[in-house]
């Protein structure tokens, strides 16, 4: 059975080729465009050919294609990545989506404050081509950039983790062998949260509940179903919320607002789609809750920039 790639992944690469390519359209680009128009799957081999065409368009095309993937995400896996609280959370979420993000290869990561080192590894004996490595590097840079909300410096790595010149893959005479890359950014520590009343065990259970909500914010959550996922009795879960000074409904509402805020700031998705993805009934419902919480509409929040993500006091 022929393996295929996500239509969104192929569409992002196609966008870069169509926007930055010069001369006749590459055969792979034309075939992929026809398949996407029909809603048909894109074979993995054809996607590799398309990445080769994208690579030949230069670094600006590769970066543009990667950013495109995160601007209007339709797939729930991408939306989940963009809701990550920090880079560590992003990597945890991305580990579940790696077979979707990488066609026939895998990565190994090492995270340090303000730095992520990625090793690009073969899978089932096939070493990634330079075009594939450069594209996956751009995807990591775009994803990290969206989460840290700032510039990310990229360094390609050769054998023994030696740094390669930025233009090395596009120099005449053949591309070097690329084994991975290093991403660096300004690591601003998150503000320390005020201590929450209640036993530590209760807070840990509430945090576990919030993590479940964040993975499926649009689900029709009920106390009994959540308790089952956390392997506790419903009454024990409700007592944990009470000891932490909160409630099931308050935490679910807070997580849905957080998810909506991340998607508003980090994507160009229409607000109606964001409302549905975050678990709100419709766009007006999202606007009402957003105005009560942040003191502004979702549209105003999107235009204000990172400072608007500071949480306002919850209204009654």
Domain CATH code at residue 218: 1.10.10.60
Half-sphere exposure at residue 5, Cβ-oriented, CA atoms within 13 angstroms: 26
Domain boundary among 128, 150, 184: 184
Instruction: List the structure tokens of 315.
Output: 């209204």
**Would you call 6 helix, strand, or coil by DSSP?**
coil
pLDDT tens-digit profile, the chain (316 residues): 567 888 888 999 999 999 999 888 899 999 999 999 998 888 988 999 999 999 999 999 999 999 888 887 777 777 778 777 788 888 888 776 776 676 668 888 999 999 999 998 887 667 888 999 999 999 999 989 888 878 899 999 998 889 999 888 888 777 788 999 999 998 655 444 434 444 445 677 888 888 888 888 888 898 988 888 888 888 888 888 888 888 999 999 999 998 888 888 878 888 998 998 889 989 999 999 999 988 899 999 888 755 444 444 343 2
Q: Residue 207: which domain range?
A: 200-309
Whether the full predicted model's pTM is greater than 0.85, yes or no, is: no
Are residues 289 and 246 part of one domain? yes
Are residues 253 and 127 part of one domain? no
Can you state the angle between helices 130-148 and 44-56, rounded to 10 degrees?
A: 80
Are residues 170 and 73 part of one domain? yes
CB atoms within 10 A of CB 37: 8
């Amino acid at each position: 059975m022929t393996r295929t790639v996500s239509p969104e992944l192929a569409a992002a690469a196609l966008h870069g080729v169509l926007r930055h390519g010069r001369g006749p359209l590459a055969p792979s680009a034309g075939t992929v465009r026809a398949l996407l128009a029909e809603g048909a799957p894109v074979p993995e081999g054809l996607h590799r050919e398309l990445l080769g065409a994208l690579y030949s368009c230069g670094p600006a095309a590769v970066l543009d294609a990667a950013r495109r993937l995160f601007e209007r995400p339709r797939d729930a896996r991408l939306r989940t990545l963009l809701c990550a609280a920090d880079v560590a959370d992003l990597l945890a979420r991305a580990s579940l989506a790696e077979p979707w993000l990488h066609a026939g290869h895998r990565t190994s990561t090492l995270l340090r404050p303000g730095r992520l080192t990625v090793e690009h590894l073969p899978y089932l004996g096939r070493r990634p081509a330079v075009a594939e490595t450069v594209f996956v590097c751009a995807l990591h840079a775009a994803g990290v950039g969206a989460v840290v909300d700032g510039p990310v410096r990229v360094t390609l790595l050769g054998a023994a983790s030696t740094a390669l010149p930025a233009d090395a893959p596009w120099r005449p005479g053949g591309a070097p062998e690329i084994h991975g890359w290093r991403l660096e950014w300004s690591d601003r520590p998150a503000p320390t949260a005020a201590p929450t009343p209640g036993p530590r065990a209760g807070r840990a259970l509430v945090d576990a509940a919030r993590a479940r909500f964040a993975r499926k914010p649009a689900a029709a959550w009920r106390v009994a179903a959540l308790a089952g996922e956390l392997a506790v009795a419903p009454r024990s879960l409700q007592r944990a919320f009470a000891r932490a000074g909160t409630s099931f409904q308050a935490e679910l509402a807070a997580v849905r607002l957080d998810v909506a805020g991340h998607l508003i700031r980090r994507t160009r998705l229409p607000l109606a789609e964001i409302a549905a993805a975050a678990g709100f009934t419709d766009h007006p419902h999202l606007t009402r809750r957003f105005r009560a919480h942040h003191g502004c509409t979702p549209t105003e929040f999107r235009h204000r920039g990172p400072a608007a993500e500071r949480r306002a006091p919850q209204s009654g």
